[in-house]
Structure 1
Amino acid sequence: MFAIVHPPSDVQDGNAGSCRALAQYLDKEAGEGLRFFSHTEQNISVEQVIASIDTNKQKLGAADAKFFMLSLNPSEAEQKHLIGRDVSDISELTADERQEVIRKLEIFTRSAMDEYAQNFGRDKIRSGADLMYFARVETERIYKHTDEAVKDGMAKIGDVKPGLQFHVHIIVSRKSLDGKTKLSPQVKSTGNEWELEGRGTVKRGFSHINWKVRVQQAFNESFSYQSKEAQTYQIKQPPQQEKIVASIPDKTLRDLLMNYQFTAANQIVFAMREQGYEHSVRHGVHTFSRDGGTFQISHSELKQFERPLSEEQLEDIAKRFDLAKYENGNGNYNENGLQVKEVSFFTYQMDESGQKSLKDVSYKVIVDEQTKTVVSFATVRQFAFAHQINLMKSDLDKEVVLRKMKNADLKDLLSNYRFTAGNQIVAAMKERGYEHRVRKGVHTFKHPVHGTVSIRHKDLVNFQEKIDDATMQDIAERFNLYKFKKDFAEGSYNENGLSAKTIEFNTYVKVPIEPEGGENQESEPDNTTQEKQFVLGENEDDKVKYRKELKSVSYDVIYDDKTHVTIPVSLLKHFAYKHDISLMDRFKHSYAVENEDMRECLRNPELKNVRQINKEMRSRGYRVEMDDEGRYTYTRGDTSFKMERRDLRAFTNYAKNTKEKDTFADNTGRAASMIGGSIQNKIMNEILGDNFRTERMVIGKVKTAVSLVQNPANIKMMLVCKIAGFLNPFKEL
């Protein structure tokens, strides 16, 4: 039994495009009742074969193989064994005998494809049922121009050959049946070990030798046949390698050459030195010695054992290798069966003057103990880059990023400053004169003097950190929120070692997609509306659809010159609120109020609320007015100044009462409890998830929360009113 994986040159039009030409060629005996079959189906049309193979090509390039042609070719003796009697031509068979041979070959083909699948050693490719293949039994062969009978003039090209000519042709897709795995029998190497039930340990990667042998064994076992040597594929080593191995007196070197795949001769020398051998080379002859024994082998003989790795082998190594762990280990790496070693050797190199000199050369290699292969580290990195395989499986340690970084400005920022977000680092680099762009998760900073530096976003955000409570409290104690609002609105804030700036950047945000026609779309009146039970968040209409939109985002941050910390103002306000630290204390911070009379009122503990303060200001001759935006204007003669109503409330601790906070949270929960599904959590987060000071801020949060509900306007209004009832005394709802 001869099982063959045909080269692409045997396939009409090659195998990088459609299989149409091959399938139609193999369908030449369809008129005799012979049709394609698969692992689970019979009587498959040629059109179905073409459509199935040609559409199963996800993630394959234009030049990649899309399918392969296999053939199973029983010898004449094996065909006679299947028939059960001695015949010399198919014409001697009855119709029933012919159909019985075809049936046996179809069964055997499925066994052969089981062996084909298992020969790849993939965890998810266990049998022919995991493959997409179509096969057909053929009963004739025709003469070709390469046949001796044609060359001798005894037959013509296209004539049918006499005798028994049963054989099987198979078209198998490059991709597995589920389209998730690429399988190429063009790989002649074996790979990592895999435990196969009932068969012991086999190795990954396609071995033509193993498949041919297993197909023969499957035929023998299926049909109780004892094959002769002439009918069996014989396992042979390449003659030159076989001769060299036989001439080597040292067992260690023989084992290395027979069991490992090296991509360079110097790797073999390095492996021998690891085994304790002393090595020297002179006039192209390597001398190895250990324990008093010495032997020699020529460099040309060692080079016979250089074999480049296949794409599948390189892909397997690249997918298991973690460059981040290698970098984190400072060059020490032993993970997933892969180990990084440094190969060093002496070689002659030509200098600029044309003279040869002996140089000490070294490079990194990856030793794959699972597949017994050795390949240069650079080759794996180049392959991964060319095939877009991510080698960074985990995150780099911050120390490694800093150690590898050559740009002094970025290194200084990441080493000596503390940030709470990656965009703050980007802003700091821009302040130092760098242009910035980000593409595919990589930030690039360009400076006219200091050059260009790039860093992955994942590595950049590793330097953002949560600021400890002690530092936050220290900053909060030195921060005057009122002065910040007043001064920063006018241009800058700088006090007590604290300064403010605005961080601006572009980012993609999710924007709800409005239903077609909008909420005001007219529709026929529904008389059953009053009978329907609306449960917000559980109806199909409540499923919000989003689209990505690039928007400019900005927020204010405080920089502490004392600790080199940058934190958002909102985070500082949230921390202060959570820890009952007043950022607008009437006794501590009112010095920033411009008007002396107002300062005196704020420092008077007997004036407990805004109403009493305004009454006192009127008694001092001020006219007090409030506009639609919630700002008070105080006028006396030629003197006039303004104060936000919310600032006055903050100075008088309007929303600081702990009991009120607990009551508010409880009432919000009651309001949201009437809402079902995921919308309930969204509304709770919108209302309670920020640091509020006044009822006006709460109103804004409720409105934002209600906007999440994609229901008719009357339902939204019902929700607003319901929440308004629970959130009393915030009556402005």
Structure 2
Amino acid sequence: MYITITPQQTQGNFSQSAADYVAYLEKENESLSLSEQEHFFNQHGDKITAEQVISEIDGNTKKLSRHEPKFYAITVSPSQAELRRLKDHSRDLKVYTRELMKAYAQSFHREIHGRAPNVDDIKYFAKVEHQRYFKGKDREVRENQPIASKILELQHQKRRIVRGEETGNLEQIKEKISELEQSAPHQLDGKRIVQGMAKLGHQTHVHLIVSRRDASNSVSLSPGSKYRASEVMLHGKPVKRGFDRDQFFTQAEKVFDAKFEYQRNFVEHYPSRKLMVQNPKLYYSTILGLPANEKAFALKLLGKSGVHLPQIPTNKVQLALKTIKALKRGVELAIKSGSIGI
């Protein structure tokens, strides 16, 4: 499960309205028939219009300054293995999202009118999407980049020849470009993978737009808070503050596993990925200590995520620091590219 929480961009020329982000989320519908289109939904409603989303998010910003985010964008991207557990991607992810947002509300260390927040205090709208596209940070795009640079230079050379700025054989250049295209290490349907190309396989995921203010427009609920759980004096009164991301990410997995009977491997657990960063030696020692089938699947998952796997020692005694560092670098790159998420 890959979950990201991103604040609205408020610097420079970015709009203060949610309209641009909502328009971005509507783009996938442009190529679909009315019966195929996905609509916005929230905890209690379906088929919510884009206009209603914009109106409610933009109208729920009381006491927020121009430079404070008015909303947060949350992306929930199940892995291929998780998606295979779903019978109906769209329907099941809507059910899951509504349960997930209960965990989101419970992760705030705040009080609203003297009580803990619940899901009805969260003003949010969500939308299921079925396509994902390669980004510049994806491993396939990065590893194709040397080829892409050579092709780009040849294309520039072609233009200079056409303009008469230099001499050269256009047919030879065309052949070189064709050879380079075919030599790219990562391809789909015989074409070099580039940024913006649609990914194959099941890619269903959920985008959420969540108001910074609670549904009553009276309390600020920021998942971007650097505080996990603390109290501060405000106007002479103690006020709770904070958002526990660890709790939220952990519950996100537990809710999914319970609802869809998913057997999560060690490397798929959020606490395990934290362990990889904090104590890589223990992380990899634990992997090597798993039962044979689980260990094989764990290494397979890491490999599919773009982790370069050096020769794996057969026992804990042989676990060399050099091997740990190599694996750690590979996993870090995979996390940054979105292959392994939290």
TM-score > 0.5 by shorter chain: yes
Could you tell me which of 136, 153, 175 is aligned with 1:145? Answer: 136
Query: Could you tell me how far apart the structure 2 residues matched to 1:109 and 1:207 are?
Result: 18
- The residue aligned with 2:82 is 78
| Aligned partner of residue 169 in structure 1, secondary structure | strand
Is 1:19 aligned with 2:18?
yes
Question: Alpha-carbon deviation of 1:159?
Answer: 1.8
Cα distance between partner residues in 2 of 1:147 and 1:4: 16
In structure 2, the CA distance between the partners of 1:158 and 1:44, relative to structure 1 (3 Å rule), is: same
Measured after TM superposition, the shift of residue 3 of structure 1 is 2.2
Deviation readout 1:456-502 (Å, 9 max, x if unpaired) = xxxxxxxxxxxxxxxxxxxxxxxxxxxxxxxxxxxxxxxxxxxxxxx
Question: Residue 185 of structure 1 aligns to which amino acid in structure 2?
Answer: P
User: Quick one: which amino acid aligns to residue 82 of structure 2?
Assistant: E
C-alpha distance in structure 1 between counterparts of 2:83 and 2:27, whole Å: 22
Aligned to 2:178: none
Matching residue of 2:67: 63
1:574-614 per-position Cα deviation (integer Å, ceiling 9, x unaligned): xxxxxxxxxxxxxxxxxxxxxxxxxxxxxxxxxxxxxxxxx
Return the structure number with greater helix share.
2
Report the AA paired with residue 47 of structure 1: E
| Cα distance, 1:169 vs structure 2 | 0.6
Counterpart residue number, 1:28: 27
Q: 1:144 to 1:3 in 2, by over 3 A?
A: closer
CA 1:13–1:215 in structure 2 vs 1: closer, same or farther (change >3 Å)?
farther
Report deviation, 1:78.
0.6
Letter of the aligned partner of 2:39 in structure 1?
A: R
Report the Cα distance in structure 2 between the residues aligned to 1:75 and 1:238, rounded to whole angstroms: 19
Q: Which amino acid aligns with 2:5?
A: V
Q: Which amino acid aligns with 1:150?
A: V
CA distance in 2, matches of 1:119, 1:11: 28
| Partner residue, 2:252 | 215
Distance 1:34 1:24 in 2: 13
Q: Aligned partners of 1:11 and 1:150: how far apart in 2?
A: 29
Structure 1 residue 121, shift from structure 2 partner: 2.8
User: For each residue in 1:554-586, what CA deviation from the matched residue of structure 2 results, as whole angstroms up to 9, or x when unmatched?
Assistant: xxxxxxxxxxxxxxxxxxxxxxxxxxxxxxxxx
| Residue 229 of structure 1, CA deviation | 2.1
3-state SS in 2 of match to 1:18 = coil
Letter in 1 for 2:95: I
Gaps spanning 5+ residues in structure 2: where? 149-191, 232-239, 281-342
- Partner of residue 182 from structure 1, selected from 211, 216, 220: 220
Q: Residues 237, 228 of structure 1: CA spacing in aligned structure 2 closer, same or farther, 3 A cutoff?
A: closer
Measure the CA separation in 2 of the matches of 1:225 and 1:139: 21
Say if 1:76 and 1:237 are closer, same or farther in 2 by CA, change over 3 A. Answer: closer
> What is the correspondence of 1:215-234 to structure 2 with a 5 Å cutoff?
215-234=252-271
Q: Name the residue aligned to 2:99.
A: 111
The Cα of 1:20 is off from its aligned counterpart by 1.1
Read off the aligned partner of 1:186 and give its amino acid letter. G
Q: Decide whether aligned partners of structure 1 residues 178 and 69 sit closer, same or farther in structure 2, where only a CA change above 3 A counts.
A: same
Q: What percent of counterpart residues are identical?
A: 34
Task: Give secondary structure in 1 for the equivalent of 2:82.
Answer: helix
Is residue 68–residue 174 contact of structure 1 (8 Å, CA) maintained in 2?
yes
Shift of 1:10: 11
The correspondence for 1:171, drawn from 195, 209, 218, is: 209
Q: Give, in whole Å, the separation in 2 of the partners of 1:9 and 1:57.
A: 15
- Cα distance in 2 for residues equivalent to 1:113 and 1:186: 16
Unpaired stretches in structure 1, ≥5 consecutive residues: 84-99, 194-202, 244-733
1:11 Cα deviation (Å)? 11
Question: Displacement of 1:238 after TM fit?
Answer: 10
Q: Verify the 8 A CA contact 2:9 2:69 in the aligned structure 1.
A: no
Which residue matches 1:461?
none
Is the aligned partner of 1:123 residue 2:114? Answer: no
Once the two structures are TM-superposed, the CA of residue 149 in structure 1 deviates from its matched residue by 2.8
Superimposed CA distance per residue, residues 110-152 of structure 1 (whole angstroms, 9 cap, x where no aligned partner): 1111111110033335322211101011110012222233341
Kindly indicate whether the alpha-carbon contact (under 8 Å) linking 2:40 and 2:126 is maintained by their aligned counterparts in 1.
Answer: yes
- Do the aligned partners of 2:86 and 2:92 also contact (CA within 8 Å) in 1? yes
CA spacing shift, 1:155–1:238, aligned 2, 3 Å: closer
Q: Which amino acid aligns with 1:45?
A: T
Distance 1:207 1:11, change over 3 A: farther
Q: Secondary structure at the match of 1:24?
A: helix
Which secondary structure does the structure 2 equivalent of 1:26 belong to? helix
The CA deviation at 1:13 is 6.6
Structure 1 residues 44-443: aligned runs within 5 Å: 44-83=48-87, 100-124=88-112, 125-151=116-142, 152=144, 153=148, 154-192=192-230, 205-234=242-271, 236=274
Residues 215, 10 of structure 1: CA spacing in aligned structure 2 closer, same or farther, 3 A cutoff?
farther
Residue pair 1:2, 1:233 contacting (<8 A) in 2 also = no
Please give the root-mean-square deviation of Cα atoms over the aligned residues, in Å: 2.8
1:12 to 1:111, Cα distance in 2 relative to 1, 3 A = farther
Distance in 2 between residues matched to 1:191 and 1:82, nearest whole Å: 35
Residue 232 of structure 1, CA deviation:
2.3
User: Within 2, Cα distance between the matches of 1:11 and 1:209?
Assistant: 28
SS at the partner of 1:6? strand
Would the aligned equivalents of 2:256 and 2:262 in 1 still touch at CA under 8 Å? yes
* Structure (1 or 2) with the larger CA radius of gyration: 1
For 2:2, the equivalent position in structure 1 comes to 2
TM-score normalised over the length of structure 2: 0.58
**Residues 228 and 245, structure 2, Cα contact 8 Å, conserved in 1:** no
- Measured in 2, the distance between the counterparts of 1:141 and 1:132 equals 26
The question of whether the paired residues in 1 share the 8 Å contact of 2:10 and 2:67 is answered with: no
Cα offset, 1:177, TM superposition: 0.7
Higher relative contact order (CA 8 A, sep 6+): 2
Give the Cα–Cα distance (whole angstroms) in 1 for the partners of residues 128 and 16 of structure 2.
24
Aligned partner letter, 2:251: R
Tell me if structure 1 keeps the 8 A contact 2:105–2:118. yes
**Aligned partner letter, 2:111:** D
Contact 2:108 2:241 in 1 (8 A): yes
TM-score normalised over the length of structure 1: 0.28
Using the TM superposition, give the Cα deviation of residue 103 of structure 1 relative to its aligned residue in structure 2, in angstroms.
Answer: 0.8
The secondary structure found in structure 2 opposite 1:82 is coil
Give 1:686's aligned residue: none
